[in-house]
Structure 1
Amino acid sequence: MMHDICQSPVSLTSTEALSDWNGMIRAFLAHGTATPTHLGALLKREPSFAMGHAARGLFSLMMGRSELIPVAREAAVLARRYANEAAPNAREVAWVDALEHWLAGSLTGAIADMETALTTCPADTLSAKVSHAIRFILGDARGMRHSIERVLEAHGADHACRGFALGCYAFALEETGEYDKAERHGREGLVLAPDDAWGLHAVTHVYDMTARPELGIRLIEDNLTSWDHCNNFRYHVWWHKALLHLDQGDFDMALGLYDARIRADKTDDYRDISNATSLLVRLELEGIDVGPRWNELADLAQARTDDGCVVFADLHYMLALTGADRPDAKAAMADRFARDAARKGDMPQRYATPGLAALEGLNAFAEGRYGAAFSNLAASRPSMQSIGGSHAQRDVFERLTIDAGLRAGRYEETADILNDRLSRRGNRADRYFTSRMAQIDRARRIPAQ
């Protein structure tokens, strides 16, 4: 039995196939563009490798695109057929099971399968990363942390992927509020895996959450080679840099990065659209005229109103549709949310709560109905983490909630939300907190009419 760079068994029959597989693992962990190239070469060399087909299916589902669901289904059929014809190990079986669970609507089932693989092979960084990624989609920060903590001991100094495991750990620590530990482990991971864009971005998150933008900007500028090899994740790192400049009040730099980096390629990947829409919203909330930039995003979002793969994606599509004021598309999105909320499964639960209220809140804000916007967004707020993404990504909805409250004159409730946001950020006030609290203080000094 061969073992891969994750020190885990793999049912391959040649050193060439193992090299392809290891190349895929390394690229996937680094968010590299070479991931599908290595996987394609592997499946061409060993077309009966069940785990390889399962990987193709799982990676397709992670894209959050409805047109890739048939690709994942085809991969699942092949993975199960070859698993039944051979004698795969427990790790490989878990991957096939995970793909089938996800296709059946149970992302939690897929996570459980990955954890089964890790119980068998705790040094399996690939399964740890996939568990981490699916939990990220579900907003399960505590689960991310528990999962990686239980396998860290197996990622000792001799493990080829220890740096990537530390990058996942750093991100989970940051998302659970352990900012100092996150910074320490993230920087340690970057020494071991300097091309780990996820670990780099985890430390950047720390500086965003603790209002230290100058450190985040310096970290990114000092580590350009950590993410220039990346797939579209590189746009996300540029987005982080734009947020840090925004926190410094450098709106021109943020908008310049939007044009030169974040939307240099007009892709319709939901993660790229979420970067773009959330940055434009932040700029508009600061009074910046973003010009016609909403239009190309709305054109892409309008074609995605029926996707229904990820609530996080759909709420960002809605930001584009409200930004460009596309009433028919907004209505279609609201109708589809209602349909999805009535179904069963992990994602439909999130369309029901908080999706419906959040969607209505975004629409109300765009229409200037700030009282309704605040009521709906505040009602969705306790469950917003379940839509996935990070604290930094979901902060766009926090800002819309707060600005809706200010415009509706709901000052005391808004102050409570601002203070709660502050406490989640290590009690370090960023520019946004300071400016909005100043508005509330001014309003409190105005005598009631």
Structure 2
Amino acid sequence: MNEEYFHLPITTISPPAASAIHAFAEELLSHGAGAKIIFDAVAEDRECALGHAYAAAVFLTQMTCEGQAQAAPHIAAALDNNALCSEREKGTIDAIAAWGCGDERSAISSLRRVVECAPHDLVAAKLCQILELSKGDIIGMLRTSGMAASVEGRSGYALGLHAFALEQAGHAELAVRFARRAIDINPDRDPWAQHALAHALLAMEQPVEARAFLHSVSQSWDRCSSFMLTHNWWHLALIELELGNKAAALALFDDRVWGQRKGHAQDQINAISLLFRLEMQGVRPAARWDEIAIYVEGRVTDRVNGFLDLHYLITLLKSGRTDAATRLTQLLQRDRVAGATANAIQSYSAENFREAAAALAPVCHHLSELGGSNVQRELFESIFVDSVQRSRCQTVSSAHDYSRVAA
């Protein structure tokens, strides 16, 4: 953890609570599996408002209705006990309270103000990047991480945050420089910087180099949180697929992406995205869709995140759960881009490729509004491209059939 963070005030009567908060910060920034240590903080000091706010954030990152419900009492406790808190703490608490109410824009604004006033607060910077990515706010992400990276260099975590933002904004070569510096500082505890470097190398059309690098650091992922563990293996599987190694990509799906941990929403969308891309390239998924559907079919009415919902929709359609898929598609119509994408997925699944292309065409340049990284959104772009190609083939085939009948 960067040393300056230790000097930021924490309002608590308990040194063990403060220690648990510092440990949580390290786990969050290093994507470790031990973020639940934050609950030790609230156990040590029931009136520690910042501890309660961070505990709520752990639940909110689950991106489920259950997570929101579990976060609510911690948000209430944080708000009840914030009278003596510093402005930095109050800003963080306000942000997480807004996040818990579904107001991610207000949460982002509050966290940015925290980073502006306390750029060493990398917890605020990290949480802000999570939300900025969810809202597709790449320019904001670049600004927030830039503030943190401009002053923090001891741990390298801010450099990794900024590297990812740079790559998403189209500055791949500069992203490589920031990511490599972050990894030099912290070679085996910054999987986000490793992930950013892989993104940048792929953007520079160096998939072989990206694959070699990710394999070289893969042993360090065993300590990672569920999302980061499966997500970096997901990237490796996509690289194998890009290089034409379908069998290797499928093996990674079974052993590393879906075969590891299955309960978190991010694990599920990693699996869904990879399996759908494999199927688009002619790989038969066998019963894999049914297994994923068991985990996601209860999420139809969650409506926590449209980006996740679109992945759930794919699974419902591929597993034959058409009623649930229709219901989810209807719910997604409340948002123009998500609704159009859902309609396209429905049409694509039914092999109505012309309708799928027509549904996606008006929103193709707005897919960033769905959130997710540029590589994640390529899934929807691939549906559009494949639909256009297949609709042309269908048109040619229909014309050929008509000419034969006319003759």
TM-score (norm 2): 0.92
Residue matched to 1:181: 174
C-alpha deviation, 1:266, in angstroms = 5.5
Matches within 5 A, 1:111-126: 111-126=108-123
Of the three residues 197, 200, 203, the one matched with 1:203 is 197
C-alpha deviation, 1:4, in angstroms = 6.5
Residue matched to 2:93: 96
Give the whole-Å Cα distance in 1 for the aligned partners of 2:4 and 2:18: 7
Aligned-pair identity in percent equals: 27
From the superposition, tell whether residues 129 and 266 of structure 1 become closer, same or farther in structure 2 (CA, over 3 Å): closer
Residue matched to 1:18: 18
Residue matched to 2:366: 383
C-alpha deviation, 1:6, in angstroms = 5.2
After superposition, what is the alpha-carbon deviation per residue over 1:194-251, rounded to whole angstroms, capped at 9, x for unaligned? 2111110111112223332111111111112432210112011110000111111000
Residue matched to 1:299: 294
8 Å CA contact retained: 1:355, 1:380: no
3-state SS in 2 of match to 1:306: coil
After superposition, what is the alpha-carbon deviation per residue over 1:290-327, rounded to whole angstroms, capped at 9, x for unaligned? 21211111222211111100011100001111222211
Which AA in structure 2 matches 1:66?
Answer: C
Of the three residues 331, 344, 365, the one matched with 2:348 is 365
Of the three residues 127, 134, 138, the one matched with 1:137 is 134
After superposition, what is the alpha-carbon deviation per residue over 1:257-302, rounded to whole angstroms, capped at 9, x for unaligned? 0011111145132211111111111111111212121111122221
- The alignment's C-alpha RMSD in Å is 2.1
Which AA in structure 1 matches 2:191?
Answer: A
Give the whole-Å Cα distance in 1 for the aligned partners of 2:62 and 2:374: 20
Residue matched to 1:354: 337
8 Å CA contact retained: 1:43, 1:52: yes
Give the whole-Å Cα distance in 2 for the aligned partners of 1:14 and 1:322: 52
Give the whole-Å Cα distance in 2 for the aligned partners of 1:153 and 1:211: 28
Residue matched to 1:214: 208
Give the whole-Å Cα distance in 1 for the aligned partners of 2:26 and 2:65: 27
Give the whole-Å Cα distance in 2 for the aligned partners of 1:372 and 1:296: 29
8 Å CA contact retained: 1:305, 1:329: yes
From the superposition, tell whether residues 102 and 368 of structure 1 become closer, same or farther in structure 2 (CA, over 3 Å): same
3-state SS in 1 of match to 2:31: coil
Residue matched to 1:39: 38
Give the whole-Å Cα distance in 2 for the aligned partners of 1:323 and 1:213: 29
Give the whole-Å Cα distance in 2 for the aligned partners of 1:181 and 1:287: 36
Which AA in structure 2 matches 1:226?
Answer: S
Give the whole-Å Cα distance in 2 for the aligned partners of 1:139 and 1:26: 26
Residue matched to 2:67: 68
TM-score (norm 1): 0.84
- Structure 1, gaps ≥5 residues long: 342-351, 412-441
Matches within 5 A, 1:418-433: none
From the superposition, tell whether residues 276 and 242 of structure 1 become closer, same or farther in structure 2 (CA, over 3 Å): same
Give the whole-Å Cα distance in 2 for the aligned partners of 1:7 and 1:325: 55
8 Å CA contact retained: 1:17, 1:42: yes
